[in-house]
Amino acid sequence: MKKIFLIISLLFPGIVSNAQELRTDISVHDPVMTRQDSTYYIFCTGNGIAMWSSADRVQWKAEKPVFAAAPQWAVDAIPGFKGHIWAPDISLYKGTYYLFYSVSAFGKNTSAIGVATNTTLHTDDPAYKWVDHGKVLQSIPGKTNWNAIDPNLITDNGGTPYLVFGSFWDGLKLVKLNKDRLSVAEDLDKIPTIATRRKVISENLPAVDGNPVDAGGNAIEAPFIFKHDKYFYLFASIDYCCKGPKSTYKMIIGRSKNLKGPYLDKEGIAMNKGGGSILLAGDANWYGVGHNGVSTFDGVDYIIFHGYDAADRGISKLRVEKLDWVDGWPEVGK
């Protein structure tokens, strides 16, 4: 067998090299997925923004990070930032890919959201080049009671772009963007909260695990809005990620006919008043699951997220599952 492998490697080095590069069961955090032509791409948290490619959504090849060096604006804006970029979001508009991303100091709302563009995702295309447009918005401790991370771009029924984002503090926020999708079009002091764990505005849930007092225990983040039939569906993650076997992450859902909400859960409780129906939680195989995106390929909807693998020390792994629709609500395919 070794002789056969050696002969193949000598005659067809590219084939063997590519085979060695392909991996399954990959470790990711906060993945989003898209497809260009016949190639699937994942963007996720990592140094410079991690990027993977695949022909079948099963075997993945690690591509070079989006940024070879930390964007200078982010280094200037976030003390101690060294290039580890969180929770990207990918979308296509008029032939250009928009990649929103987060930079932050862990556990603080010293955070900002930036955006980069590219005309292709194929790394072997001569036109492949990410152009960074810098900061879109920023949160500042003591000034903004929200956290500028976990962006997701969505358009309303008229095609106007919005960015939903947020983590802890006051919850999930929604802001209108200008037509160029590179800057905000609203007063950031007046943007609404569309989801929170707080049942009343004045409530301040107790801080846990060393979280800042102003962030409290309002453990909600990772918003993603997906349009299906006549509703906009707001996906979010609650409780705690990033703790390996102690992770308690789970996903919740609500829906609205208006992009701006209110988003109601299955019991009719608004998500901006503490509502949210559980979509998926951890089980014997996964300690916690969350931070999802939704993509449609060939008429089928898929939910893309990470889970903490109980069979592998709680390491965060990629999960891609079919998303079914039952009586107007999403269900993760079995």
Catalytic residues, by residue number, are: 30, 221
Which residues have C-beta within 8 Å of that of residue 233, sequence separation ≥ 6? 225, 226, 227, 253, 254, 255, 330
> Are 324 and 300 within 8 A, CB to CB?
no
SS3 state at 18:
helix
Q: Single out the residue of 1, 260, 47 nearest to residue 154, CA to CA.
A: 260
d(CA 235, CA 227): 11
> Are 137 and 149 within 8 A, CB to CB?
no
d(CA 329, CA 266): 8
d(CA 183, CA 115): 9
What are the percentages of helix, strand and coil residues in the chain, rounded to 5? Answer: 10, 45, 45
Q: Single out the residue of 240, 247, 221 nearest to residue 309, CA to CA.
A: 247
d(CA 53, CA 122): 9
Tokens standing for residue 140: 């500042």
d(CA 181, CA 201): 30
Residue 156, strand partner residues: none
> Are 193 and 170 within 8 A, CB to CB?
yes
> Are 100 and 114 within 8 A, CB to CB?
yes
Residue 184, strand partner residues: 177
Kindly state the DSSP code that residue 270 receives in the 8-state scheme: B
